[in-house]
Structure 1
Amino acid sequence: MTTVGIIAEYNPLHNGHVHHFEEAKRLSGADRAVVVMSGPFTQRGEPAVAGKRARTEMALHMGADLVLELPVAYALQPAEWFAFGAVSLLDATGVVDSLCFGSEAGSLAQLLPLAAFLAEESSELKDALRRQMAEGASFPAAFSQAAAEAWAAPGEGSPETAMAAELLRQPNNSLGLHYLIALQRLGSAIKPLTVPRTGAGFHDPLRPGSPIASATAIRRLLLEGGSPAAYLPAYSSEILAREQAAGRGPVQAEDFAPQLRHALLTRSAAELRGLLDVNEGLEHRVKKVLPGLEPFSVAGLLQALKSKRYTHTRLQRMLMHILLNHGKEELSPARLAEGPAYIRVLGFRDSGRELLKAMKRTASLPVITSAARFDHPLLERDVQAAAVHAAAYHPSASRDWFADYLEPPVMG
């Protein structure tokens, strides 16, 4: 029996995800699949449109045997730490044989040597990154160009550099590279696999007649009151409809505008500076633009803060860290480099029970099926994040706020 690992957000789970899941099973030849999934907040700094339990249901319906939660400490991070946290969890289970991710490249031929180079963090790479940042580039753009320059020996402006930069600019390639880097740094025996990403790109609009759409376009359609049923498997549509009827979605950033405004107004610039991603004087910029935001909105605040140096995604993550009161010290690079401290089970099918039994022998971290029975500061952050997400439901009920303590794992 072999097991393939998948890292996902399923926000929401759509036909493209089903295609990737089926290809992962086919390419790996695995009998079982373990999914590491973001909880209530996602890597781009957005709240998930539906709670983690609903999205776990979708994954189990699709065929996942076991769904694990990526702690919010890693889920709400740039690609490097998002990937490191997720890969660390798969490795810590002791039962995962391969990791399959989608990429624009569709092959490991270019990705593996580049990942091996980047994992070394050469002085050339660090120098190039400092130079790009000094010129005012955002970190993702600076890293992309710096990595391309350092990897392609002929130097800046060469065809090799241009090819490397293009490879790094493509979002799934970039995330996949960080998965590969994490595997190397962990010395993991997990075998990497990749499948070509097909269908709609991240920014592509909906295409009538096509069963594939990006999660971004699907979320936009949901928030505009439309039906994304054409782009989702039936079970995802049914679960989303049930959640919406119960007032548990679709959740969006604007649902947290009052709480975020309160946090910004009641914290001094020095207090803001102590929170994650509030760097380089951003606390003063936030305080400066606040008086001009009337009416206050998350979108308006993001627009007022955006600049060449700070991407929309980076600012979204910063605002969510402020909302969740994530301190720099508790989520420092040194702390994140220690890896997750537990394996949190969100749900499983009958076949997943066998995996859980095996993990009792093989896992290098505690396997948690009840948050009430395990004490850890980062798990407490997960519980808090779920409660904040549930506060956006209409009606907002205490059972939803404390579901992490009150509800068992989802059974598929």
Structure 2
Amino acid sequence: MKTVGLIVEYNPFHNGHLLHLNRSRELAGADAVVAVMSGPFTQRGEPALLSKRARAEMALAAGADLVLELPVLYALQPAEWFAFGAVSLLDATGVVDSLCFGSESGELEPLEALASRMAGGESPAMREALRQALAAGLSYPAAYAKAASQVPCGGDSAEGAAALLRNPNDTLGLQYLLALRRIASGIAPLTMRREQAGYHDAGLPAGGAIASATALRAALARGPGGLDEAAPYVPQTSLRILRREAEAGRLLAAGWEALAQPLFAALITRAPEELALVPEAAEGLEHRISAALPRLAEPGVECLLAAVKTKRYTRTRLQRLLAHALLNHSGALFGRENLALGPRYLRVLGFSPQGRLLLKAMKKTAKLPVVVRAADHADPQLELDIRASAVHASAFAHAAVKDMYADYYSPPVAVF
């Protein structure tokens, strides 16, 4: 069975995701689709709009065959480790033949050329150029792009490399290619151009069928009418699940503000030296946060982000730091040496009939334990996932213990 892998968040699953899923299947000539999906918190450090189970159900209803959870240890990371964790999971299944990702360029060759150049790791010249760009106040993505453009690159165009790295999906695609090389995977990379809505587009396009997830979340945050606004831009199956979850009080339309109270408690009760141990805290950022707290106009997350954000401390980095603080993350588990060891299990969130066949094949091919029931597998990484899901679900309007600990109470989503 030929299988294509996707690395996704589906926050929520919309028409653009459906296009990517279907085209990936066609481009790869695949019989099945395996999606590695972030759990309750996304790579940009935001609490997901819906539970991971509801989002897995959206994916399966739209044609995915097997949905695996990207451990929060890797989901809440900069692009390098996010990509490494997700690619490692796809490789560990032993059944994935190709990986298809969206990109602004829609061309694999320039990304492959840049990946080939960078595959040996960052050179001393690259590290120094990156250090100088950061010291000049550039954000990490901008600094990385500038550093890459300055380091000698043989026949590659420095300007071309910098242009690629200014695009978020091209940057992430590059990291997927580097991860494939890093683990010597036999998975073949494929890419397709993103259609219409851009990564950060905040408005719903008039007369269009594709809107960004950012725009859809903004519409849902505007109130009950948001579902009607979002309806033209999501598959009917996604809309049905969105309505069901909203009616059950399991839609975090308020985003971070739904978790403001426990977040502020986590920040207020930490001294700066304790905050400094939280992943993403560095270079005095812990002092900046501690100093900002008593000066805020109100205890809101947006207010805090506005007070702390600078060119150097991007919103994404700050949100990841806040998520780590909320989830009490610290220690060696989040260090580079441990991250480089890769995920330690394949956590099944849901499957289709075709996905059930993949799971059967994985009994022979998988390089990691396949976890169907969380209670059957003990691992520090999995414990982090369970706690993250419990914290996320505790913010639901009608929080229930069985929602908070669905990892123990609920089996994977099965769609037939």
- TM-score normalised to structure 2 length: 0.96
2:160 to 160, 163, 169: 163
Residues 107-186 of structure 1 aligned to structure 2 (within 5 Å): 107-120=107-120, 121-152=122-153, 160-186=157-183
CA distance in 2, matches of 1:33, 1:287: 45
Counterparts of 1:50-61 in structure 2 under 5 Å? 50-61=50-61
**Residue type at the aligned position of 2:214:** T
Letter in 1 for 2:124: S
Alignment-derived partner of residue 25 in structure 1: 25
The answer to whether structure 1 residue 361 and structure 2 residue 364 are counterparts is: yes
**Alignment deviations for residues 307-366 of structure 1 (CA, whole Å, 9 cap, x no partner):** 111111110111111001110422111111000000000000111111001111011100
Which of 169, 183, 186 aligns to 1:189? It is: 186
Does residue 216 (structure 1) correspond to residue 209 (structure 2)? The answer is: no
SS in structure 2 of the partner of residue 67 of structure 1:
strand
> Taking every aligned residue pair, what percent have the same amino acid on both sides?
56
Cα offset for 1:24? 0.4
Aligned-pair distance for 1:153?
Answer: 5.3
Q: Is the 8 A contact 1:57 1:410 kept in 2?
A: yes
Offset at residue 148 of structure 1 (A): 2.0
CA distance in 1 between partners of 2:80 and 2:409 (Å): 33
Letter in 2 for 1:71: P
- Counterpart in 1 of 2:305? 302
Q: Distance in 1 between matches of 2:46 and 2:178?
A: 25
Deviations 1:350-395 (A, max 9, x none): 1111100111101110000011111011100000000000001111
CA distance in 1, matches of 2:101, 2:390: 30
Q: 3-state DSSP class of the match of 2:334?
A: coil
Q: Would you say the 8 A contact 1:117–1:151 is kept in 2?
A: no
Residue 278 in structure 1 maps to residue 270 in structure 2? no
1:11·1:215 contact (CA, 8 Å) conserved in 2? yes
1:321 aligned residue: 324
Q: CA deviation at 1:163?
A: 2.5
Q: For residues 332 and 301 of structure 2, what CA distance do their matches in structure 1 show?
A: 26
Compute the displacement of 1:201 (Å).
0.5
Runs of 5+ consecutive residues of structure 1 not aligned to the other structure? none
Contact (CA 8 Å) 1:341, 1:366: kept in 2 or not? Answer: yes
Dislocated runs of 4+, deviation >6 Å:
none
How far apart, in 2, do the equivalents of 1:152 and 1:215 lie? 35
Shift of 1:167: 1.1
Task: Name the structure 1 match of 2:240.
Answer: 238
Q: Contact (CA 8 Å) 1:114, 1:151: kept in 2 or not?
A: no
* Amino acid in the other structure paired with 1:240: L
The answer to whether the 8 Å contact 1:342/1:365 transfers is yes
The alignment covers a number of residue pairs equal to 408
Instruction: Tell me the SS of whatever aligns to 1:207.
Output: coil
Match of 2:296 among 274, 293, 296: 293
Task: Indicate if the aligned counterparts of 2:117 and 2:153 stay in contact, CA closer than 8 A.
Answer: no
Paired letter, 1:96: V
Contact 1:222–1:250 under 8 Å retained in 2? no
Render the CA deviation track for 1:199-242: whole Å, top value 9, x for unaligned.
11023222110001111011111111213011000000110010
The more displaced of 396-405 and 145-154 is 145-154
CA shift, 1:152, in A, is 4.4
TM-aligned CA deviation for residue 271 of structure 1: 1.2
In structure 2, what residue type is equivalent to 1:394?
A
Contact 2:13 2:59 in 1 (8 A): yes
Q: Which of 365, 379, 383 is the aligned partner of 1:380?
A: 383
